[in-house]
Amino acid sequence: MARKIGFFSVLAYIIYGFLIYFYLFYGADTSIPFEYEGTSADPTIFLNGKELMLSEEYSKIRDLLFFLSTPFEWLVYLMILLFGLSKAFKRWAEQSSRFRFIQTAIYLIWLSFFAFVATFPLSYISYSFSKSYNISTQTFASWMKDELIDFWINYGMMLIIVSVLYWLIQKSKKRWWLYAWLLSIPFTLFIMFVNPVLIDPLYNDFYPLKNKELETKILKMADKANIPADHVFEVNMSEKTNALNAYVTGIGSNSRIVLWDTTLNRLSEDEILFIMAHEMAHYVEKHIYIGIGGYLLLSLVGLYLSARLMNWAINHYGEALKLSTVQDIRSLPLFLMILSMLLFISDPFSNIVSRYQEARADTYAIEMTDNPNAAISTFQELSRAGLNQVKPPLLVKIFRYSHPTMLERMTMIEEYGLKKSIERQQ
């Protein structure tokens, strides 16, 4: 049975990969609708021939790697179970110590290391590919450092989560998912609170905006929007990427508005102010807290479904998976695989909410700045810097786009400008 499950799982992954490849490279329509040709949203207007070609190539390969990576992770966890590696990890852990917490730590380091090694080739391909298209400027040593930081941060958090999770499973086989969710609420809020000051600085250097004249203008906008802000932060991302970005992070007193230095270097002052107004909208409309609420709701549903699916999988395929009970830490790869599947399935729904919030933020920003030309040029430069498709394939938009497409964003700005022009004439 184990060989049969493994064979058909690998076969399904290969077929899935070919279908995704065919869809992205031959089946998907990324052409601009006729009515938008010649407008500011038409990439032939603001990108030259080489940039258009690179944008299409880069987007297709990047999207292919995305759709291959997550299911590959599921396959890795499944093979760990089918080949008895999870059982071996537990045996090695028990042979190393008689203390339960240390056993969990040793089991988890083996599992994490094996998963890291198995998925490393795809991660490296993604990095190398991004570098070849001049999106990434990061050296291999710097990239590898970030990968290792990721590994140890994830390991540390997983050690806490897994230790508590399996203690709860042993105490309450039926309701562990509910107790785990209740404990996840303060844990999630704590991580979000400390992330800007403890975790983010491990990857990059953050400091108050150096351009004090620009900072004054941004803070004046913040005051107009009733946002209590003393600083705008910039981060030295030019050492790692040529892409542009700005974002809001953290909660409470640790919340920050952050600008990448690439954004500061490549955009005009009016364009930066438009981006800042967009980020301020997330604060004004409390999108961060809405997002936390949505995440907690999804995690509740996800933990409940994970509990049900784990019991079903062990009852029907326990022998092949070499599992007899959910309480055994050997079931962790099964839990991680199911949770990853549920997150993947939920992406389209969370992206719908996110795209709505981002559209609201765009509307807020254009109304605050009343500068359609700066907004349009901002989106055009974002497309050029990131080699983003203006109109991505539908499947890519559904699963990957937490923001409206550039076609949708620029079209909205054009409509706003036209509306304002008509109002002024009247």
**225 inside domain:** no
Q: Do the annotations mark residue 278 as ligand-binding?
A: yes
Residue 33 has what DSSP assignment?
P
Domain for residue 241, yes or no?
no
Q: Is the Cβ–Cβ distance between 82 and 76 less than 8 Å?
A: no
Query: Any idea which residues carry the catalytic annotation?
Result: 279, 362
The answer to whether 37 is annotated as binding is no
Q: Is the pTM of this model over 0.85?
A: yes
**29, part of any domain:** yes
Instruction: Please tell me whether 358 is known to bind a ligand.
Output: yes
Residue 242 lies in a domain: no
The answer to whether 420 and 372 are in contact (CB under 8 A) is yes
Whether the Cβ atoms of residue 334 and residue 313 lie closer than 8 Å to each other: yes
Q: Evaluate whether residue 135 is within a structural domain.
A: yes
* Count of structural domains within the chain: 1
Specify if 216 maps to a domain: no
Q: Is residue 65 part of a domain?
A: yes
Which range marks the domain in which residue 362 is found? 2-204+286-425
- Whether 233 is in a domain gets the answer no
Amino acid sitting at position 123: S
Q: Give the pLDDT of residue 289.
A: 86
User: Euclidean distance between the first and final Cα of the chain, in Å?
Assistant: 75
Q: What is the mean pLDDT of each run of 10 residues along the chain (426 residues)?
A: 86 96 92 87 89 92 95 96 93 91 95 95 94 92 95 95 94 92 92 87 88 88 78 88 85 80 92 92 88 92 95 91 91 96 95 94 92 92 91 94 94 83 67
Dist CA 240 CA 127 (whole Å): 11
